Amino acid sequence: MSKGSPGYLVSTFSNRCPRCRRGRLFVESNPYRLKTNTKMHENCAVCGQPTDLEVGFYYGTAYVSYALTVAFSLATFVGWWILIGFSVQTGDRRLLWWGVANGVLLVVLQPVFMRLSRSLWLSWFVKYEPDWKNKPIEKENTERVVKEQMGNW
């Protein structure tokens, strides 16, 4: 990885444009401003990549968000198992407490997952272009954009 080219994971997890890995995808930088936290820039402010490729583009993120939720729960389950442990003995409430803790974390992290799933989703359609300054935006990523329908899904 050359210097000055942000990595895939870093840029995706910080909700950056997948094409230039620099521009921010979301208007609001705080995921906990719940009214505006999924509002996206129409185009990347840095390279001009549209963020809404076609009508209903982000519909599939519901599945991504679900997969993230499952993966996260598995991770906390394993972590809990190693650090605290489980048993099936009566009176052992550790499994119950994991459920409660995990449930609370999922609710708290929901806005972060929602944004991350959009960022991931877009990154699967738009390739990284290190030379974004000189190369035009790929036609396949702009021809289906319906300006009037943006955000209407």
Name the site residues for Zn ion (rule: CB under 5 A).
17, 19-20, 23, 44, 46-47, 49
Say if residue 28 is exposed, middle or buried (CB neighbours under 10 Å; 0-12, 13-18, 19+).
middle
Minimum separation from the CB atom of position 23 to Zn ion (A):
4
Q: Whose Cβ is closer to Zn ion: residue 46's or residue 106's? A: 46
Backbone φ and ψ for 100, nearest 5 degrees, come out as -65, -50
- Which is nearer to Zn ion, 93 or 127 (by Cβ)? 127
Provide, rounded to whole angstroms, the least separation between the CB of residue 49 and Zn ion: 4
| Beta carbon nearer to Zn ion, 38 or 51 | 51
Helices 61-83 and 94-123 pack at an angle, to 10 degrees, of 140
Task: Report, in Å, the least distance between residue 46 CB and Zn ion.
Answer: 5
Considering beta carbons, is residue 47 or 112 the nearer one to Zn ion? 47
Angstrom distance (rounded) from CA 56 to CA 19: 20
Phi, psi of 16 (to 5 degrees): -100, 160
Residue 21 CB, shortest distance to Zn ion, in Å, is 7
